[in-house]
Amino acid sequence: MLTITAPVAYEVIQQNNAGVAMLVVAGTYVDTTVYAAAPAPVTSVTATLTPVRGGKATVATLPLVDGGRFSGLVRVPTGWYTLLLTAGPHRATVARVGVGEVFVVAGHSVAQGDGTYTLDGSTDERVVTIPVDKTSNAYPSSGNPMLLPRQFAPFTSGVYPGPFGSNTHFWAKFGQQVAQTLDCPVAVFNAAFGGTSLRHWALSATGGQFEHGFVNSAKGFPYVNLKNALSQYVGQTGCRAVLMDQGQNDHEQADAGVIFADYKTLVDQLRADSRLPRLAVVVNRQTPYRVRTAVRQAQQRMIDEVPDCYAGPDYDSLTDSDRYDGVHLGISGQEKAAQWWAGVVCETAFRSRAKPYQPNAVPVVPVEESRRALLDAQPEATVPLTSLNLTFVLGAGVMALLILVGWLVANRVRPTQLIR
């Protein structure tokens, strides 16, 4: 029996700017077949990635160790694939897996979705999320990351994106526009929480408490949504950027400096907690009710003064008819928002500056792939080690050391010659 533990179906891994990612392929093999004669021993598993759209056919060999386990990293170009594993007479498949772009949404109800209006989901199967089951989900009452859903699926109509999306909203159409513009798979997670202000986010990010009618700060909300999305999802997939629609509910604060301080506290904390110090943050701009100028001033300061923060959509360009109650987006407003957010993250200038974080960026097996990837993959940055990829990275360190020693011996170089 051949069992795949990674990747999971419809998973998307963040590509680097060279259009490459390292895909974890792992599982177990136990041969329970009854043979008439002793079979030839099976010592490895063959992984074959067949392009469905884009990409390049890729084959790698993963050795079996410890009585039937296999795990390794396969260098995969941007694209949408079917994965086939073979070992002896046994086969196992993952219907779809991709290398492309990954985004996390944060903010208030304009980002989360308010349940009144929503666009249809994506018709491109390459746009995925981790759906939330609203009927049986225990996570909202606890914030416990162990209760988060884990299974990826296409971001179609009626899908609520994990960890906290309240409906499909406009994010599936955003993902579809990105997928079709860049011709790559896209994953979108939604960590927003309606009814919250930047003060709520800053306080909960730093362990503070506050009174609120339906936001439980004692459980770490609203910030715990973003923290969990980054640790539980991005730790597995990598990420291009966090898309923040923040500030509407800070309209009563007249001091732009106070709003800016809360916003910066939030961004500083999320980067510290995730150990992604240069994680790109895209900041929308708006003047709530067209008169609360302090919010927009604070947003612009984030873009101008905080490293790796980028200008997002300008919501002041929405018309009155785009907001059915003066705040939340109707259908026309959502259509514009999807287009504007997609336009920002697809811009060449943004993509050249917003360096993506990737998981598992150091290859382990096979050796030929590892040597080549070490020379030419050159990922921009990597996510922190997780329980899944720690073993792989430690193995990579051993391999790199062996390669270095071999090079030193071949070139008769003493170690002291490397020190200047």
What is the per-residue DSSP string for 94-108? EEEEEEEEEEEEEES
What span, in angstroms and rounded, lies between the C-alpha atoms of 320 and 258?
28
pLDDT bin (cut points 50, 70, 90) of residue 36 is low
pLDDT bin (cut points 50, 70, 90) of residue 366 is very low
What span, in angstroms and rounded, lies between the C-alpha atoms of 131 and 141?
17
Which residue(s) pair with 280 in the sheet? 241
Stated length of the chain? 420
pLDDT bin (cut points 50, 70, 90) of residue 383 is low
pLDDT (mean) for 3-8: 96
Of the chain, the percentage scoring pLDDT greater than 70 comes to: 85
3-state secondary structure 131-165: ECCCCCCCHHHCCCHHHCCCCCEECCCCCCECECC
Strand pairing report for 280-285 and 127-129: unpaired
Give yes or no for a contact between 284 and 337, defined as CB atoms under 8 angstroms apart. Answer: no
Residue (of 184, 127, 182, 194) closest to 159 by Cα position: 127
Q: DSSP assignment of 62-114, as one string?
A: EE-BTTTEEEEEEEEESEEEEEEEEETTEEEEEEEEEEEEEEEEEESHHHH--
Q: Give yes or no for residue 370 having a pLDDT over 90.
A: no
238-290 pLDDT, tens digit per residue, is 999 999 999 999 999 999 999 999 999 999 999 999 999 999 999 999 999 99
Residue where the block lists tokens 């109800």: 109
Q: Give yes or no for residue 368 having a pLDDT over 90.
A: no
Residue (of 49, 60, 1, 62) closest to 28 by Cα position: 1
pLDDT (mean) for 44-59: 97
Q: What is the pLDDT of residue 387?
A: 42
Residue (of 96, 155, 111, 103) closest to 131 by Cα position: 155
End-to-end CA distance of the chain: 54
Task: Give the H or E element holding residue 176.
Answer: helix 171-182
Q: Give yes or no for residue 391 having a pLDDT over 90.
A: no
What span, in angstroms and rounded, lies between the C-alpha atoms of 71 and 65?
9
pLDDT bin (cut points 50, 70, 90) of residue 349 is very high
Residue where the block lists tokens 């966090």: 242
What value does the mean pLDDT of the chain take? 88
Q: Give yes or no for residue 51 having a pLDDT over 60.
A: yes
**How far, CA to CA in Å, does 172 sit from each of 47, 110, 120, 235?**
31, 15, 8, 22
**How far, CA to CA in Å, does 295 sit from each of 97, 285, 303, 323?**
40, 8, 13, 18
Give yes or no for a contact between 279 and 241, defined as CB atoms under 8 angstroms apart. Answer: yes
What span, in angstroms and rounded, lies between the C-alpha atoms of 108 and 9?
30
222-237 pLDDT, tens digit per residue, is 999 999 999 999 999 9
151-187 pLDDT, tens digit per residue, is 999 999 999 999 999 999 999 999 999 999 999 999 9
Q: What is the pLDDT of residue 415?
A: 40
Task: Kindly report the pTM of this predicted structure.
Answer: 0.87
pLDDT bin (cut points 50, 70, 90) of residue 386 is very low
Range with the lowest mean pLDDT among 69-73, 316-320, 368-372, 376-380? 368-372
Number of other CB atoms surrounding residue 40 within 10 Å: 6
pLDDT bin (cut points 50, 70, 90) of residue 309 is very high
Q: What is the pLDDT of residue 34?
A: 67
What three-state secondary structure class fits 322? helix
What span, in angstroms and rounded, lies between the C-alpha atoms of 21 and 240?
13
pLDDT (mean) for 295-307: 98
Q: Give yes or no for residue 293 having a pLDDT over 70.
A: yes
Say whether the peptide bond before residue 222 is cis (omega within 30 degrees of 0): yes
Q: Is 246 exposed, middle or buried (CB count within 10 Å of its CB: 0-12, 13-18, 19+)?
A: buried
